[in-house]
Structure 1
């Protein structure tokens, strides 16, 4: 639950509270943060605003740097605000409009999490396949054994269908910018992409490690790093359980609209199919 507050005083806002698990918090020159500006709002999301804050703002402290098992280059930190004063012009969008800013901001964040998982999954299974082509077991290359080639086949098939969903969500996000589809529709697709590909990539990397066997559990090959780095994808920018809630919430809104089928069939996500 959000507890950070921003109180308007003259031409400034006074921020108090803290933000945890801020990726890039160590090295960032400025931060985008959300704070409660109307505690009486119902629902609470109607009383949240977004701000941009310079790192050197008096009252802003980088209090904790977390040690992570993976994605260690992010510089993840805890940020504390103690009577931090920022100009009113640092408000992003409308006062109490932070929830709308957040929902728009999560489109590229969650989409890049899905797309990033694509790259890691491809790298992992390619490494494992090349290893299986060289390594021999029972007198022939491992890749010629059914158990191994089935894991490779299943992995590249999962990558292919997950990739298609990522591209569909990306095209939908572009269409939203042109006013052709709604934010609700894009939130659903992006959440599906993030949920699907982070879990597909996790299975693929586990398959890759299984193909390599004991050597895959060492630091000789980067599979162990892929495993550590990928695990965060199912947690950050909204856990995969939250993705499921968003998917069903947006789908419920769609099918509750009497125009659902008509509007759905009018959506053109592929320019090549446009007349």
Structure 2
């Protein structure tokens, strides 16, 4: 009889192009040996060139999907991604608060192509409702600025950004420095306000980076579901995402995705 793998639930938007969102989350969870489950919070019309439109689901549909999975199957970790409206943010925050499993919150505000994925009036709900329910929050530097007003120009500014994010109540902040200009490394800072863990990986010239943030947050959730500590899970997620970035491939006429199956490809 086969044993049950660790269970990970993503609450996010669907990416019709398959590079980010729920599709990236489920691929990452599979690649890391966990069973991925999904709550669709929004549907996007999206390809390699950008997001042509999105339609959020009713809060009752999101709540029903979540309860359906958690009440029957259970969950060892939850990851959240695109939650377009204040109502959805508040609904998911309430659900997370009632779930014992660790929660990784990717506060998605803007797509890789610069398209807004979060209503302006929802930003305060993310700050005051969603972040306090997070075990780990994983903003990039644009999202840090959107949430806190802190602008990071170099690596030395990342601790201030982390402190500003932690002030809203998550247990850990993973500040992603991938957007820092001029660095030979992709540098992230993980901290709970006391210990600092600097995560570094070589910066690749590959332009096919669609889905990076979703992949990192999902990998982190998968590793937490396996029982790793937050620092262990973050280091493993960074390593997995760096490999997926290095193996990113062209797709369509714009930015291609990272390759979630890069480890399987290595075995062929």
Bigger RCO of structures 1 and 2 (CA < 8 A, at least 6 apart)? 2
TM-score normalized by the length of structure 2: 0.25
TM-score normalized by the length of structure 1: 0.24
Larger Rg: 1
